Structure formats: C-alpha cells, structure tokens
Amino acid sequence: MGQLFEEDNVISRASDERDDVNVLVILGHPRNESFGGALAETYREGCVQAGVNVRSLAVSDLEFDPDVHTECPSDQPLEDDLVTAQRDIEWADHLVFVYPNWWGTMPAQLKGFFDRVFEPGFAFAEYEEGEGAGHVELLDDKTAELIVTMDMPPWVYRWVYRQPGTNALKRATLGYAGIETTRVTEIGPIEDSSLEERNEWLADVEELGRSLTTGPKSRATRARQRLTTWLGALRLQFYPMAWLAYTIGALAAADSSAVFSSPAYWLGLGFLCFLEAATVLTNEYFDYETDRENTFAGPFTGGSQVLVDNRVSFEEIRQGIALTLGLGGLFGIATVLTTAGSPIALSSAMVVLTALALGYTAPPLKLSYRTLGEATVAWTHSIGVLMIGFLVIGGSWHVPEPWLLGVPFLLSVLPSITLAGVPDYAADRAAGKQTIAVRFGLAGVRAVAMGTALLAALVGLVWYGRGVASHAYGPVISLSLGHALALCWLIHRRLDGTAGSQRIDGLMLASLSYISWFALIPLLGLL
C-alpha cells in the first residue's frame, strides 16, 4: 500500500510548481487592433522574457457559431477552430483572458466562445445519484487570470457595480470547471486616458507576464493557499467536541477558578489538540483509498480530500503526523509532570486514548475496518477525554461522577458518527471497511442512530432527576428529547431505501448539533 501511495502522488500538486509552465493568452476583444490587443501582445512578450511556453488565441479570428442550438452544448458539433481552441486549453497550465468590460460583463463573442468551448465532457461532467447530484470539475489542474479594460474607474466597477462580469467569469464559468483565478487586473478608464497612462498600463501588464518566472501565483498567494490547505487537512470543525468533554471532566473535579488557573489544564488541552491533529492526519493517510473512491465527500465525511486532490504529498502528511505526535508527546509529558492527581493514572489514560484514537484507521488495530470505529470515536470524544480532564485536575479514576457524565455524551455522539458511514458506503465497502453502514445496511444505521439519540436524551433526563454528577444537568435538558424525536423523524424519512452512498449534509448537521445538549448544558451547569 505504501508503494501505491508513492506512485499515485508522483504528479505535481499545482501548475505553479512546474518548471515548464504553459500559458495561453486569449484575447476576447472583437477588434485585434484595440488597446486590449496591445495588452495581450505585451503580456505575451513578458511571458517570453520569463522563459515560459506561451501561445496566443484571438476569439475574433475564430470561425464558429456562438449560439447553442441543441438541447445540450455537447450535442452540437464543434467547428475546427473550436476543436483547436480546446486542444490549446488542454495544453495550457495558465489561461490569461484579456477583454473589455461592456455593459458590466464580457463581449458577446467571448460569451459565445465559453458557451461552445466549455461544454459538458470537456470543462465539467454532471452526475445524478439521489441527493448527491452534482458535477465534476474537469479543468481543475489549471489557473487563470483576467485582464479587463473599462471606461470607468476600476474602483467604481468594484464597489458600486460589484464586479458582475468578473464575478460571473471567475466563479460561475471558470470556477465551475475547476479553474482557479489567481489574479484580476482591471484597467481604466480607457476612453479618456493619455498616451502616458496607456504606456504605464502596457508596462504593468508586461511585468505580469514576466512574473510567471515563479509561477502563476504570487508567493503570498501560495503561502496563503498552503496555510488554507493545511487548515483544511486538520479538519478543525471536529476539535470543539473533545475540548468541551475535556473541560467538563476538569470542572467535575474542581471549581472553575482552580481549573482555568491550573497549568496542567492548559497543557492537557495542548496534548488533546495535537493528538486530534495527529489522528486526523493519520486518517487522511490510511483512508486514502477510501477517500479517493468517495464521490459524496462533504464537510463532515470523506476526509479533507487534500491527498486525493494532490494538494499535499504523502511525505508531507507523514511529516505532519510525526510533528503533531511529537508535540502531543511533549505536552503530555508536561501535563503528567504538573498534574495535581496521580501521574500513573493520567499517563495510562493518555496512552489508552492515543492508542484508540490512532488505531481508528492505523494498523495494527484498524478499528474502523472491524465495525468498532463508531464506538471508538464515540468513546474517545466523550468518556475518554472527559476522564483525562478529570484526572489532570486531581480526580481519581474510580470516582463514578466522570463516568456518569460521559455516558449521555457518548450516546449523543453515536448518531452522527454512524450516519457518517452513509455517504462513505460505496467507498468503504470497496476498501474493505466494515462500518455499521457496510455491515448492517441502512436498517442498522437507522436502528443505531435513532436508538442512541433517544437513549442519550433519556439518560440525561434520568441524570437530572436523580441529581447525578453535581447537578450538571438542569431542567432544560428535557428539550433534548424533542431534538431526539425530530432527529429520529429525519432519519426515518431520509434513510428509507436500501443501503447506498448519498449526501446527507442536512441530516449530519442535525445529528452533530444534537451533541451540544450534552456538551453545553453540563458545561454551563458545572461552571
């Protein structure tokens, strides 16, 4: 498997990191002798000076019908010039569109060019499968930039008119095909400009072409995107659940002033943060085959897709795992050395938590492949971290209070982690993962998700009625039963067919929000 990973990741992650960038300059002005034509030629000269491969295309020189006469654009045969244009676009890594802003958008001929050339099967592919209907971006290995001339000050176009043409091309056309627009240069007003101003604009555009020496993206843009990629890989949306459980455990052992003034509490929080990061990155690494086959990945399922999209390499993920584990280990040792409780009990709990968290996907445990993944996630994100918080502040592992606090929390996590197997069903099954969805189908998912949702609310009500865990649960916990019933109705209504992959983002959001009853209410009660 490791060798397969390396072979699959030989492809470069982005065109701006290649040694030989191919640039296609597309002039969208209907008159080649216009100032736009001069800008396109000047940009080309800058590219030549930068040493990149460059081709030019003038839309006005092409012979084609700009109107789509068939129901689907791909049903209308392409003229020879458009076939050549598609081949040039395929060749290019970076597309440069030079055109005037007319009536807030592009000239009609350029619009017709997009209508005909960016057809299904070339720029994108559509699919329909239940709620997962959508499209696949087919040109996502390319970048683009726009050079737009206008007869108004660019600031008026941007702030008064809100850039309708730029937004449409950048987001709805290029973006729909997966092309990332890295730079937009707006030039104007042109009509009343002086020769000196035009020469300055030409010099600026030539410099844009020369800047491709370091790639289509600036260093600042690459750094920002790199940071965004890693933040996406870390999947920070899942961290608060563990942090809340940890703090509940700490507050169960001491009052808030003692907890938040304790160095051990903050060091333990650092340990959990880096362990969560290492766990997420480990899942990315060992779940690559599953994530690669997953066409229903969303914000809550299917991983971050950073490996699948070649935005980071396997070596970088391994380095990230090593770094976060190392930092987690340092924070863990510091926590044990400063704890007010038993160092042996705390260190043992940390080792168990680490083994279960990493063992979710990592060998030899690979718990998610043995129908133990859902229970593992529920345990580690509830009772597991809650006990760490309790022990850090000086509590004892044989005191029942933290265990009781963790039970409804654990039960409330199970619906969401079980439902997460539905979008991943086909990919998990192909990879040999034995999730609840794969092993028991939608009937099993419904039974577990609905049963544990109701049980969490009922246990919370019992804990409130009996004054369990320092009265952490107040009367407001009774409202969780209504949420549980609504969630059960949604589950029954949404998952009423045979097992299969499908997008259930709304249902996932409803199940994840359900956890807040058993995180926020005891937290506020203990505070």
The residues that bridge with 55 in the sheet, in sequence order, are 24
Residue at 354 is within a domain: yes
Number of structural domains (the chain) is 2
Query: Within this chain, do residues 251 and 102 fall inside the same structural domain, yes or no?
Result: no
**Same-domain status, 163 and 40:** yes
Per the listing, tokens 């070596």 go with 315
pLDDT band at 13 (very low <50, low <70, confident <90, very high): very low
Q: Give pLDDT, residue 6.
A: 37
CATH number at residue 27: 3.40.50.360
3-state helix, strand, coil in the chain (%, to 5): 65, 10, 30
Task: Name the average pLDDT for the chain.
Answer: 89
Helix (H) or strand (E) holding 97: strand 94-100
In a domain, 249, yes or no: yes
| Cα separation, 407 vs 38, whole angstroms | 71
3-state secondary structure of 136: strand
Within-domain flag for 2: no
Residues 6 or more apart whose CB falls under 8 angstroms from that of 191 comprise 151
- 223 occurs within a structural domain: no
Q: Same domain, yes or no, for 36 and 84? A: yes
Q: How far is CA 272 from CA 328, 347, 476, in A?
A: 7, 13, 29
Residues 208 and 251 in one domain: no
SS (H, E, C) 266-287: HHHHHHHHHHHHHHHHHHHHHC
Question: Both tokens of residue 176?
Answer: 């729909």
Residue 188's identity, in one-letter code, is: G
Q: How far apart are CA 483 and CA 471, in angstroms?
A: 22
Quickly list H helices, 235-342: 239-253, 256-260, 263-286, 288-293, 314-338
pLDDT in tens, 271-313: 999 999 999 999 999 988 888 777 666 666 777 788 887 788 9
The answer to whether 265 and 393 have CB atoms below 8 angstroms apart is: yes
**Which strand ranges, in their side-by-side order, compose the sheet holding 94-100?**
53-58, 22-27, 94-100, 143-149, 180-187
Same domain, 137 and 212: yes
Same domain, 258 and 368: yes
**Which of 196, 217, 238 delimits the end of a domain?**
217
For residue range 86-99, list pLDDT tens digits in order: 999 999 999 999 99
Residue 393 has pLDDT above 90, yes or no: yes
Q: How confident is the model at residue 470 (pLDDT cuts 50, 70, 90)?
A: low
DSSP state of 105: B
- Comparing CA positions, the residue from 359, 511, 319 lying closest to residue 420 is 511
pLDDT at 8: 40
Of 39-43, 109-113, 393-397, which range is least confident? 393-397
Q: Which stretch, 107-121, 296-310, 425-439, has highest mean pLDDT?
A: 107-121
Contact (Cβ atoms closer than 8 angstroms) between residue 377 and residue 342:
no
Distance CA 449, CA 370 (A): 18
Distance of CA 367 to the CA centre of its chain: 24
Is 14's pLDDT higher than 60? no
Q: Are residues 464 and 375 in the same domain?
A: yes
C-alpha to C-alpha distance for 414 and 450, rounded to whole angstroms: 10
Check pLDDT > 70 for residue 194: yes
- Are both 484 and 403 inside the same structural domain? yes
Cβ–Cβ under 8 Å, residues 51 and 82: no
Q: Contact 9/310 with Cβ under 8 angstroms?
A: yes
CA atoms lying within 13 Å on the CB side of residue 1: 9
pTM: 0.72
Residue ending a domain, choose from 184, 217, 250: 217
Residue 315's DSSP bridge partners are none
Please state the rounded mean pLDDT for residues 366-391.
94
Cα 120 to its chain centre, rounded Å, is 25
Q: Of the candidates 182, 224, 188, 192, which has an alpha carbon nearest to the alpha carbon of residue 204?
A: 188
Q: Percent of the chain at pLDDT above 70?
A: 93
Domain check: are 164 and 56 in the same one?
Answer: yes
Mind listing the pLDDT tens digit for each residue in 320-358?
A: 999 999 999 999 999 999 999 999 999 999 999 999 999
Angle, alpha carbons 78-82-85 (nearest 5°): 145
Question: Do the beta carbons of residue 145 and residue 96 sit within 8 Å?
Answer: yes
Same domain, 105 and 58: yes
Pairing type for strands 124-127 and 134-137 reads antiparallel
Task: Give the C-alpha separation, 390 to 408, whole Å.
Answer: 17
* Least-confidence region, from 63-77, 128-142, 174-188, 217-231: 128-142
Report the pLDDT averaged over residues 415-441. Answer: 88
Residue 146's H or E segment, with its range, is strand 143-149
Is the model's pLDDT at 1 over the cut of 50? no
Kindly state whether residue 382 falls inside one of the protein's structural domains: yes
Give the pLDDT of residue 294. Answer: 72
Q: Which of 217, 237, 253 is the last residue of a domain?
A: 217
Q: What average pLDDT does this structure show over 434-459?
A: 93
- Residue 3 belongs to a domain: no
Q: What is the dihedral of CA 177, 44, 47, 122, to 10 degrees?
A: 20
Q: Does any domain span residue 1? A: no
Kindly state whether residue 63 falls inside one of the protein's structural domains.
yes
Residue 496 shares a structural domain with residue 427: yes
Which tokens belong to 44?
A: 């080309």
Rounded Cα gap, residues 113 and 174, in angstroms: 13
**What is the chain's Cα-based Rg?**
28
Q: Which two tokens stand for residue 55?
A: 């081709």
Instruction: Identify the three-state secondary structure at position 224.
Output: helix
On the question of pLDDT at 414 being above 90, the answer is yes
Q: Are residues 330 and 451 in the same domain?
A: yes
pLDDT for 211-232, tens place per residue?
998 888 777 777 888 888 888 8
Q: How far apart are the first and last CA of the chain?
A: 49
Least confident of 109-113, 284-288, 469-473: 469-473
Range of the domain at 363: 228-526
Neighbours of 513 (CB within 10 A): 12
